[in-house]
């Protein structure tokens, strides 16, 4: 298992949890973004900078992803592609995307996009609170523990 991070929109507190997990477990962590990202020196942590552009980072992750890899993203279309390639998708709030829930998430995303394009202010997502951080850390730990057992 490798961990891929859609790093452009990933909150710093979540990246810090991921950095600690990579060091603790030795699992390869790769952040992908189109702008510089602070990455601590580690043989387990890499950064790939991609060209600016719509979905360039997402496409790079999908291209490199192997079945069983974990992708950290709040981007629902990217999560759908990850699931399609038999990867695991976890969002920064600790919610695990699955084949059972991704279609409903895509439909809700499309609905909200329609509202925004018609001029309705839907607001943006709030920053992860303490319960979100705990949920993320707990689910990440479960996935890494399962990987270590297998």
Q: Which fold has domain 2-149?
A: Rossmann fold (3.40.50)
Name the residue ranges covered by the structural domains of the chain.
2-149
The string of pLDDT tens digits covering residues 25-54 is: 999 999 999 999 999 999 999 999 999 998
**What values do phi and psi take at 48, rounded to 5?**
-120, 120
Average pLDDT, the chain: 90
Q: What is the mean pLDDT of residues 102-125?
A: 67
Q: What is the mean pLDDT of residues 130-142?
A: 96
Least Cα distance to 16 among 50, 42, 35 occurs for: 42
Residue reference for tokens 């189109």? 34
Residue 132 half-sphere exposure, CB side, CA atoms within 13 Å?
13
């Amino acid at each position: 298992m490798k961990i891929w991070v859609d790093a452009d929109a990933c909150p710093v507190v979540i990246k810090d949890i991921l950095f600690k997990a990579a060091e603790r477990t030795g699992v390869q962590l790769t952040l992908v973004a189109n702008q510089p990202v602070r990455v601590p020196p580690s043989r387990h942590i890499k950064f790939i900078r991609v060209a600016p552009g719509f979905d360039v980072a997402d496409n790079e992750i999908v291209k490199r992803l192997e079945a069983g890899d974990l992708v950290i993203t709040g981007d629902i279309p990217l999560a759908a592609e990850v699931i399609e390639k038999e990867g695991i998708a976890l969002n920064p709030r600790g919610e695990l995307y699955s084949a059972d829930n991704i279609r409903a998430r895509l439909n809700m995303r499309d609905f909200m996009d329609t509202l925004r394009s018609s001029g309705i202010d839907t607001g943006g997502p709030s920053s992860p609170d303490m319960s979100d951080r705990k949920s993320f850390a707990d689910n990440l730990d479960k996935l890494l523990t399962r990987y270590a057992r297998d």
